[in-house]
Structure 1
Amino acid sequence: MVVPAPTPAPESATAPTSTTSRGPAEPTAEPELPVALVAVQVPLPHLDRGFEYRVPAEMDAGAVPGARVKVRFSGREVDGFVLERRAKADHVGTLAPLRRVVSPEAVLTPEIAGLARAVADAHAGSLADVLRLAVPPRHVRAEKALTARPPTPPAEELPAPDEEPWARYPAGPSFLRRVRAGEGPWAAWSALPTVDPTLDWPAAFASAAAATLASGRGVVLVVPDHRDVARVEAALVTALGPGRHVRLTADQGPQARYTAWLSILRGHVQCVVGTRAAAYAPVHDLGLVGWWDDGDDLHAEPRAPYAHMRDVLRLRASHTGAALLVGGLARSVAIEQWVAEGVVREVVADVPERRALARVHVVGEGHDEERDGPGARAHLPSAAWRAAHAALQRGPVLVQVPRRGYLPSLSCQGCRAPARCPHCHGPLALPGPGAPPACRWCGRTPTDYTCPECGSHRLRSSVVGARRTAEELGRAFPGVPVRTSGSPEVLERVEGTPALVIATPGAEPPADGGYAATLLLDAWASLDRPALDAGEEALRRWLTAAALTRDAAAGGVVVLAGAPLHTPLPVVEALVRWAPEWFAGRELAERAELSLPPTVWMARVTGALSAVRGFGDDMVAATRAADVPLERLGPIPVGDEDAHLLLRAPLADAATATAALGAVRRTRSARKDRDAASVRIGVADVT
Structure 2
Amino acid sequence: MSTGSDASSSGDQLELLRAATRGRKPKPPAAAAAQLPVARVTVDVPLPHLDRVFDYLVPEPMSVAAQPGVRVRVRFGGQDIEGYLLERVDESGHQGRLAPLRKVVSPEPVLTPPVLRLCRAVAERYAGNLTDVLRLAVPPRHARVEQAGRPEAREPLPPETVAGWERYRAGPALLARIAAGDAPRAVWQALPGPAWCDDLAAAIETALRAGRGSLVVLPDKRDVDALDQTLTRRLGPGRHARLEADLGPTTRYRNFLAVSRGDVKVAIGTRATAFAPVHDLGLVVIWDDGDEMHAEPRSPYPHAREVLALRAELEGAALIAGSWSQSVECAAWLRTGWARPVAADRAVVRGAWPRIQVAATAFGGGDDPSAHGRLPSPAWRAINDGLKRGPVLVQVPRAGYLPGLACQDCRHPARCEHCHGPLGFPSASRGDQAGLPECRWCGRVTAAWRCTTCQSRRLRATTVGVGRTAEELGQAFPGAAVVVPQADGPTPHVPANALVVSTPGIEPPVEGGYAAAVLLDAGRLLERPDLRASEDALRRWLGASAQVRPSQEGGAVVITADPQAPAVQALVRIDPGSQAERELDERTELGFPPAVVLADVTGTATAVNSLVRTAQLPEGTQTLGPTEVLTSSVADEPRAQPPRRHIPRAATLAGLEEKRDEPEEIDETQVRVLLRAPRGELANLARALHAAAAIRSSRREPGATRIQLDPLNPG
Verify same fold: TM over 0.5. yes
Is the CA contact 1:376–1:382 (under 8 Å) kept in the aligned structure 2? Answer: no
Instruction: Report the Cα distance in structure 1 between the residues aligned to 2:469 and 2:369, rounded to whole angstroms.
Output: 19
- 1:263 counterpart (243, 258, 271): 258
Distance 1:629 1:192, change over 3 A: same
Is the CA contact 2:287–2:321 (under 8 Å) kept in the aligned structure 1? Answer: yes
Distance 1:377 1:530, change over 3 A: farther
Aligned to 2:648: none
- 1:659 counterpart (650, 674, 687): 687
Alignment pair present for 1:639 and 2:667:
no
Alignment pair present for 1:516 and 2:507:
no
Deviation, 1:454, is: 2.8
Segment drifting more, 632-641 vs 463-472: 632-641
Structure 1 residues 81-110: Cα deviation after superposition (integer angstroms, max 9, x where no partner): 001111111112111111101111111111
Instruction: Report the Cα distance in structure 1 between the residues aligned to 2:129 and 2:300, rounded to whole angstroms.
Output: 7
Alignment pair present for 1:560 and 2:559:
yes
Q: Which amino acid aligns with 1:572?
A: V
Instruction: Report the Cα distance in structure 2 between the residues aligned to 1:29 and 1:525, rounded to whole angstroms.
Output: 68
Aligned to 1:678: 706
Deviation, 1:458, is: 1.5
Segment drifting more, 661-670 vs 485-494: 485-494
Deviation, 1:29, is: 7.6
Distance 1:306 1:429, change over 3 A: same
Instruction: Report the Cα distance in structure 2 between the residues aligned to 1:611 and 1:30, rounded to whole angstroms.
Output: 45
Q: Which amino acid aligns with 1:652?
A: G
Q: Which amino acid aligns with 1:528?
A: E
Instruction: Report the Cα distance in structure 2 between the residues aligned to 1:362 and 1:425, rounded to whole angstroms.
Output: 36
Distance 1:632 1:29, change over 3 A: closer
Is the CA contact 1:532–1:685 (under 8 Å) kept in the aligned structure 2? Answer: yes
Deviation, 1:492, is: 5.0
Is the CA contact 1:152–1:269 (under 8 Å) kept in the aligned structure 2? Answer: no
Instruction: Report the Cα distance in structure 2 between the residues aligned to 1:29 and 1:575, rounded to whole angstroms.
Output: 68
Deviation, 1:612, is: 2.1
Aligned to 2:536: 537
Report SS of the residue matched to 2:139: coil
Indicate the RMSD between aligned Cα atoms, in angstroms.
2.2
Alignment pair present for 1:108 and 2:107:
no
Alignment pair present for 1:406 and 2:397:
no
Report SS of the residue matched to 2:82: strand
Q: TM-score, normalised by structure 2?
A: 0.87
Is the CA contact 2:360–2:562 (under 8 Å) kept in the aligned structure 1? Answer: no
Structure 1 residues 199-219: Cα deviation after superposition (integer angstroms, max 9, x where no partner): x11111100000000110100
Instruction: Report the Cα distance in structure 1 between the residues aligned to 2:531 and 2:167, rounded to whole angstroms.
Output: 33
Report SS of the residue matched to 1:212: helix
Is the CA contact 1:631–1:648 (under 8 Å) kept in the aligned structure 2? Answer: yes
- 2:380 counterpart (381, 385, 390): 385
Structure 1 residues 398-419: Cα deviation after superposition (integer angstroms, max 9, x where no partner): 0101111100111122222221
Aligned to 1:469: 469
Instruction: Report the Cα distance in structure 1 between the residues aligned to 2:33 and 2:239, rounded to whole angstroms.
Output: 43
Instruction: Report the Cα distance in structure 2 between the residues aligned to 1:47 and 1:29, rounded to whole angstroms.
Output: 26
Alignment pair present for 1:96 and 2:99:
yes
Aligned to 2:322: 327
Deviation, 1:237, is: 1.4
Q: Which amino acid aligns with 1:191?
A: A
Structure 1 residues 456-507: Cα deviation after superposition (integer angstroms, max 9, x where no partner): 2211111110110000001101121101012343525524x11100111111
Is the CA contact 1:220–1:288 (under 8 Å) kept in the aligned structure 2? Answer: yes
Alignment pair present for 1:429 and 2:427:
no
Structure 1 residues 130-158: Cα deviation after superposition (integer angstroms, max 9, x where no partner): 0011011110111111x13344456xx45
Segment drifting more, 445-454 vs 390-399: 445-454
Alignment pair present for 1:283 and 2:278:
yes
Aligned to 1:37: 40
Aligned to 1:211: 206
Aligned to 2:498: 499
Is the CA contact 2:108–2:146 (under 8 Å) kept in the aligned structure 1? Answer: no
The within-5 A match list for 1:568-647 is: 568-619=564-615, 622-623=616-617, 626=618, 628-639=619-630, 641-647=669-675
Segment drifting more, 409-418 vs 648-657: 409-418
Instruction: Report the Cα distance in structure 2 between the residues aligned to 1:352 and 1:490, rounded to whole angstroms.
Output: 37
Q: Which amino acid aligns with 1:681?
A: L
Segment drifting more, 392-401 vs 450-459: 450-459
Alignment pair present for 1:86 and 2:86:
no
Report SS of the residue matched to 2:374: coil
Is the CA contact 1:70–1:101 (under 8 Å) kept in the aligned structure 2? Answer: yes
Distance 1:330 1:490, change over 3 A: farther
Report SS of the residue matched to 1:424: coil
Is the CA contact 1:602–1:648 (under 8 Å) kept in the aligned structure 2? Answer: yes
Instruction: Report the Cα distance in structure 2 between the residues aligned to 1:93 and 1:518, rounded to whole angstroms.
Output: 73
Deviation, 1:377, is: 7.9
Q: Which runs of 5+ in 2 are unaligned?
A: 1-21, 25-29, 632-668
Aligned to 1:148: 150
Instruction: Report the Cα distance in structure 2 between the residues aligned to 1:13 and 1:587, rounded to whole angstroms.
Output: 75
Report SS of the residue matched to 2:245: coil
Report SS of the residue matched to 1:507: coil
Aligned to 2:335: 340
Aligned to 1:55: 58
Instruction: Report the Cα distance in structure 1 between the residues aligned to 2:211 and 2:687, rounded to whole angstroms.
Output: 38
Is the CA contact 2:407–2:458 (under 8 Å) kept in the aligned structure 1? Answer: yes
Instruction: Report the Cα distance in structure 2 between the residues aligned to 1:86 and 1:487, rounded to whole angstroms.
Output: 51
Instruction: Report the Cα distance in structure 2 between the residues aligned to 1:572 and 1:594, rounded to whole angstroms.
Output: 22
Structure 1 residues 521-549: Cα deviation after superposition (integer angstroms, max 9, x where no partner): 11121111101000000001111011110
Structure 1 residues 646-670: Cα deviation after superposition (integer angstroms, max 9, x where no partner): 1101112222111111111111111
Q: Which amino acid aligns with 1:390?
A: D
Deviation, 1:447, is: 2.1
The within-5 A match list for 1:195-206 is: 197=194, 200-206=195-201
Q: TM-score, normalised by structure 1?
A: 0.91
Q: Which amino acid aligns with 1:582?
A: S
Segment drifting more, 258-267 vs 441-450: 441-450
Report SS of the residue matched to 2:382: helix
Distance 1:29 1:604, change over 3 A: closer
Is the CA contact 2:216–2:268 (under 8 Å) kept in the aligned structure 1? Answer: yes
Is the CA contact 2:369–2:461 (under 8 Å) kept in the aligned structure 1? Answer: no
Instruction: Report the Cα distance in structure 2 between the residues aligned to 1:441 and 1:202, rounded to whole angstroms.
Output: 40
Instruction: Report the Cα distance in structure 1 between the residues aligned to 2:400 and 2:100, rounded to whole angstroms.
Output: 58
Instruction: Report the Cα distance in structure 1 between the residues aligned to 2:70 and 2:369, rounded to whole angstroms.
Output: 70
Q: Which runs of 5+ in 1 are unaligned?
A: 1-11, 15-26
- Number of corresponding residues: 643
Instruction: Report the Cα distance in structure 1 between the residues aligned to 2:178 and 2:609, rounded to whole angstroms.
Output: 50
Is the CA contact 1:421–1:446 (under 8 Å) kept in the aligned structure 2? Answer: yes
Instruction: Report the Cα distance in structure 2 between the residues aligned to 1:605 and 1:504, rounded to whole angstroms.
Output: 33
Aligned to 2:660: none
Aligned to 1:7: none
Instruction: Report the Cα distance in structure 1 between the residues aligned to 2:43 and 2:493, rounded to whole angstroms.
Output: 46
Report SS of the residue matched to 1:537: helix
Is the CA contact 1:376–1:383 (under 8 Å) kept in the aligned structure 2? Answer: no
Distance 1:676 1:29, change over 3 A: closer
Instruction: Report the Cα distance in structure 1 between the residues aligned to 2:32 and 2:597, rounded to whole angstroms.
Output: 54
Instruction: Report the Cα distance in structure 2 between the residues aligned to 1:135 and 1:375, rounded to whole angstroms.
Output: 52
Instruction: Report the Cα distance in structure 2 between the residues aligned to 1:375 and 1:274, rounded to whole angstroms.
Output: 42
Is the CA contact 1:375–1:381 (under 8 Å) kept in the aligned structure 2? Answer: no
Is the CA contact 1:161–1:211 (under 8 Å) kept in the aligned structure 2? Answer: no
Is the CA contact 1:363–1:376 (under 8 Å) kept in the aligned structure 2? Answer: no
Instruction: Report the Cα distance in structure 1 between the residues aligned to 2:285 and 2:609, rounded to whole angstroms.
Output: 40
Deviation, 1:556, is: 0.6
The within-5 A match list for 1:152-167 is: 152=154, 157-160=157-160, 162-164=162-164, 166-167=165-166
Is the CA contact 2:369–2:463 (under 8 Å) kept in the aligned structure 1? Answer: no
Report SS of the residue matched to 1:478: coil
Deviation, 1:615, is: 2.3
